[in-house]
Amino acid sequence: MRFASLVRRAASAVRDRVGQQGLAAAAKLEKRRDRLGLPGSDPGAEAVVNIAIQWLCAAQNSSKSHDGGVARDYSLINGWSSSYPETTGYIIPSLLANTGDGDPLELRVRARRMLDWLVRIQMPSGAFQAGKIDSTPVKPVTFNTGQIVLGLASGETAFGTYGHALKKASDWLVATQDADGCWRQFATPFAVEGEKTYETHVSWGLLEAERLYPNRGYAEAALKNLRWATGKQRENGWLEDCCLTNPSAPLTHTLGYAVRGLLEGYRFNSDPALALAARRTADALLSKLGNDGFLAGRFNSDWSAATDSACLTGTVQIAHCWLLIFEDTGEPRYLDGARRANAYVRRTVRLDGPEGIRGGVKGSFPIDGDYGPFEYLSWAAKFLIDSVLLEVAVSVENAAP
C-alpha cells in the first residue's frame, strides 16, 4: 500500500514538471505567487469594484470574436477567449446597475452593444446556444437561455427595446419544460449528462420576465422548477445533481446558482418552503467557512471538502446569498460570513499588472486549483462586483448611528 502511494506521488510529480514546462512564464509566476499564500491586504470594496468593472470592459474590448460580447475568460496560457453568450447575458444587469454619474466608462453604451449582439445571435426558436460563440456543436440550451433572459429583462427595463427577444426566449423555456418542472430536453453538451438542480437560476430569469410580462406562464414554470429542485435536497442541505462535471462533489459555483434561484423564488412569492430550502444549503456552507474566508470549491454529500482550492466565483455567489438571507432575517452570522468571504476574494484581486490580470478574478485560488485553472473568468468578476456592492449597501443600512 505504501509502495503504491509512493508510485502515485512520483507520477504526480512528473506530471507537474511536464505540465509546468508547457506553461507560459506568467502562469508559472502566478502559480508560484499563489503558492506563497493569500495576500495579506484587502484592497477594499471601492477599489476592487472599480477595477473589476474595468476588467469587464477590457473583456468586451478584447474578445477574440470582436462582436460586442464579453470574452469568456483571460487565460495565462491562451490569452483572451471569444465571447460567451451566457455570461454576457447576466453581466448586463451588473453594468447597468453601475452607470453612476456621467457614466465615464460608457457602461450603458456597452450594455446596449451586448444586448444587440445577443439579439443577433438568438435562434429562431427563441433559445440561445451553448458555450462560446465559436463553440461546436451549436445547440440550443436551457441554462444559457435562462441566463440571457436576465440580461434581456434588465435591457428591456433600461431601454424598452428588448421585449420581443425576452418573450421569445421565455416562451421557449416554458414550452420545453417537463411536466414535473425539470428541464431535460436541451442540456448543454459541455457538461455531464443528467438533471441539473442549479437550473433554479433559470427560474430566476423567468421570474424577472414575469415582472415585465405577467400572465404568460413564466412564474408558474419557474415555481414548478423550484418545487422540483427542493425534492432533490437532502435534510442536511446537500443538493443532488448540482454540478457541471461531478454531481457527487458539486462546485460552490453551481451550489450558488441553486441557492440564489431558491431565494429569488422566495422573494417573488414569500413561500417559506423556498426560504427553508435555501437556508438549509446556505447554513451548511456557512458552517464550513474558514476564519479567513476560505471556502472549499467542492463538497461531498456529508459537507466534507472535496478539494483544497477555493472556487472564487462560488465563494462570492454564496456570500451574496448570505447577504440576502441577512436582509430577510437580520441574523448577524450571515453578514459576518459574507464579509469574510468577500474579503477573501478581494485579497486575490490585483490592482496592478498587465491587462487581463489587473482587476480579474481567478477561477480558483491558488490559480492552478480545481476550477478554471490559470483563467480569469468573466462571471467571477461579475459576481464579485454584485456581492461586494450588496455588502456595502447592507453595511451602510445596518451601521450604528
Domain limits, the chain: 39-397
Average pLDDT over residues 313-329: 98
Average pLDDT over residues 312-339: 98
Confidence at residue 23, expressed as pLDDT on a 0 to 100 scale:
66
The CATH code of domain 39-397 reads 1.50.10.10
Share of the chain above pLDDT 70, in %: 94
Q: Are the CB atoms for 140 and 148 separated by under 8 Å?
A: no
Q: Which of 184, 168, 183, 190 is nearest to 86 (CA)?
A: 190
* Strand, helix or coil for residue 357: coil
2 has pLDDT over 60: no
Kindly report the average pLDDT of the chain as a whole number. 94
State pLDDT tens for residues 365-395.
999 999 999 999 999 999 999 999 999 999 9
> What is the number of other CB atoms lying within 10 angstroms of the CB of residue 339?
17
Separation of alpha carbons 332 and 166, rounded Å: 38
State pLDDT tens for residues 280-316.
999 999 999 999 999 999 999 999 999 999 999 999 9
Cis peptide before 366 (omega within 30 of 0): yes
Separation of alpha carbons 11 and 284, rounded Å: 36
Confidence at residue 3, expressed as pLDDT on a 0 to 100 scale:
42
Grid cell at residue 119 = 439579439
171 has pLDDT over 60: yes
State pLDDT tens for residues 188-203.
999 999 999 999 999 9
**How would residue 102 be classed by pLDDT, with cut points 50, 70 and 90?**
confident
Average pLDDT over residues 15-34: 73
The DSSP result for 143-194, as a single string, is: HHHHHHHHHHHHHHHHHS--HHHHHHHHHHHHHT--TTS---TT--TTS-SS
Average pLDDT over residues 115-121: 98
Share of the chain above pLDDT 90, in %: 91
**How would residue 7 be classed by pLDDT, with cut points 50, 70 and 90?**
very low
217 has pLDDT over 80: yes
SS (H, E, C) 298-332: EECCCCCECCCCEEHHHHHHHHHHHHHHHHHHCCH
Confidence at residue 165, expressed as pLDDT on a 0 to 100 scale:
98
Q: Are the CB atoms for 160 and 203 separated by under 8 Å?
A: no
Q: Are the CB atoms for 201 and 260 separated by under 8 Å?
A: yes
Element (H, E) at 252: helix 252-269
Q: Are the CB atoms for 357 and 73 separated by under 8 Å?
A: no
**How would residue 21 be classed by pLDDT, with cut points 50, 70 and 90?**
low
